Chain A
Amino acid sequence: MFAQTKEFPSAPVESPPFDLLRVPVIGRLLGWRHARTALQIPALIAGIAMIAHGLFGPTLAPKNLATTVSWVHFRGALVLVLLCAGNLFCLACPFMLVRQWARRWFHPWLTWPRALRNKWLSAGLFALILFAYELFDLWSSPWWTAWLIVAYFASVLAIDGIFKHAVFCKWVCPIGQFNFVASALSPLEVKVREEGVCVTCHTKDCIRGRRDASGLVTIQRGCELALFQPAKVGNMDCTFCLECVQACPHDNVGILSRPPASELMTDPIRSGIGYFSRRPDLAALTLVFTFGALLNAFGMVSPIYALESWMARLMHVSHEAPVLGTIFIVSLVVEPVLLLGLAAWLTQVWGGSRRAMLPLIVRYAYGLVPMGFGMWLAHYSFHFLTGMLTLVPVVQNAVSPLLGEPLWRWTGLPTRVVQPLEFGFLALGLMGSLMVTHRLAVDEEGGHPSRAFVPWAAVCLLLFAASVWLILQPMEMRATFMG
């Protein structure tokens, strides 16, 4: 009798993820101890130049560094880098460099109040910045833009000068919150390379940092945002500061690739965050992010002025603030509550979900992030791509006559080239949101997952339709109300 051998197909060998820190040159640069400072110094110089030009340079926004760099180049490059890599702008944050220097003399002594350890404040500040942007037409004012940057530096110094750890980054900074939410769609994540290595690690330097032999002097910081690498999931709250990379004695932290949006599909306990599903504050932040994307674009198209005029007549007011305030409350509070409330109710009665209304809204709110990011991408990349070369004449003008006659005719790509890209970004956003909400419905709704998915798919499609409509509207930028 012949012995029978049965051949099993060998289990697929999972190839290790791409690791940016293993890439020649770039990896060595990012792994360098002073990499962050080296990136922050040019950003700080640019920031100082923007403040100076904003306060003392030309008053015309298209000719001033403060407005051109802030509202065309910074925002556009920010979303494109988030899409293609990760939260590299927090890595190069100039505000943190100033804070770092200031902390040599000022030692924070207080801990951030427990009541403020959530995203409610930062979600409110994010909405407030969007509101101020429209009300004060920041895009047309170099002076106000410069003061906004100054206020940012002052806030960082005031808050992080008093409170320990990275309070400003984690709980306050509106730009940081934008980056945290958007980086859920990024392909890169700071992550441990091999989990087994962390199991045997006893020092936990990635979170604790390292001190000298006396135990009094910190020679290497751990994560200031309380993200413990082995239990860290996704990019939320990660500033890519790479302190953990420096701190890990086993060289076990990398910048690894992962499927974009994957962190939105699951709900494990996350270090420094907890469960997404138990964080209504975080869900509220994602809703400000998503609905704010549409609102911010709405502020730049013709129908906003007709709406404002109509509302002003209805409300018998002549100042923009109450009208704009009403539009903001409707767009960022009433509309999301109604839309998501209706979808949650349908998920209960038609999809058979046994979860209460609020937990449903909180859980699925994260699913709308890709659609919101698609709209931010479409909007900001439009300004960036159509106006990217304007930096050349603006810099020439700022330092002239050293660089010759400013080339004012230099702008960027034509609108007809950029518009298809905008639709592409929106389509990507829609696909992402549909995938995430579908996965949530399949994984988390026991009754009828397909039926549970339908209302959320409808919300995604509605946001997509609104975004397409916005992109198709004629652009109109006025610094005048009811002009």
Chain B
Amino acid sequence: MAATLIIEHEIDPWPARVGRELVTLKLSDAAGRAVSGARVKLESDMAHPGMKPEFGDTSEVGPGRYQGRLAFTMAGDWVMLVHITLPGGQSLERQLEVKGVRAN
């Protein structure tokens, strides 16, 4: 399976606000081919320790396109963890920064 996995992400609305935001991820391999059939779970963690992380599932809405909702429970800097299990069973995790989540 893909030795290099390219992950593009989009959060709607942007800049992210406090609440359950729509997260779209696009997975592709080094050749730019969409990676379908993966299991993708989301996790949001506050930059400060001791805060409750939030979790979200995604579903594949198009070839290599995964969508799900993820909660940001307070304003500030967050880190989004993307837990991916590829069709071949290989698991990996990516850490994406979501800076400056705004209060409503």
Contacts and interface: CB of A to CB of B under 8 A. Distances in A.
A63 B81 CA distance: 12
Interface in B42-57: 43, 45-53, 55
A479 B49 contact: no
Contact of B53 (A62, A477, A483): A62
A477 B76 contact: yes
B76 A67 contact: no
Interface in A242-257: none
Interface residues of B, number: 21
A215 interface: no
Interface of A: 59-64, 67-68, 71-72, 137, 139-140, 300, 302, 383-384, 386-388, 390, 394, 408-409, 411-412, 474-480, 483
Contacts of B52: 409, 411
Nearest to A137: B47
Contact of B74 (A412, A475, A479): A475
Nearest to B104: A474
Given A60-B95, A302-B103, A483-B99, A474 B75 contact: yes
Contacts of A476: 74-76, 103
A165 B29 CA distance: 64
B77 A140 contact: yes
B55 to A, nearest CB: 8
A409 B50 contact: no
B45 A62 contact: yes
Contacts of B76: 475-478
B22 interface: no
B100 A480 contact: yes
B30 to A, nearest CB: 25
8 closest A-B pairs by CB: A387-B50, A72-B50, A483-B100, A476-B75, A68-B49, A140-B47, A477-B76, A411-B52
Contact of A140 (B43, B48, B100): B48
Nearest to A384: B50
A409 B49 contact: no
A232 B28 CA distance: 71
A394 B45 CA distance: 13
A264 B46 CA distance: 40
Interface in B70-91: 74-77, 79, 81
B91 to A, nearest CB: 13
B25 to A, nearest CB: 19
Contacts of A63: 45
Contacts of A388: 50
Nearest to A482: B100
B74 A474 contact: yes
A390 B75 contact: no
Given A60-B45, A63-B45, A479 B51 contact: no
A468 B79 CA distance: 30
A302 B49 contact: no
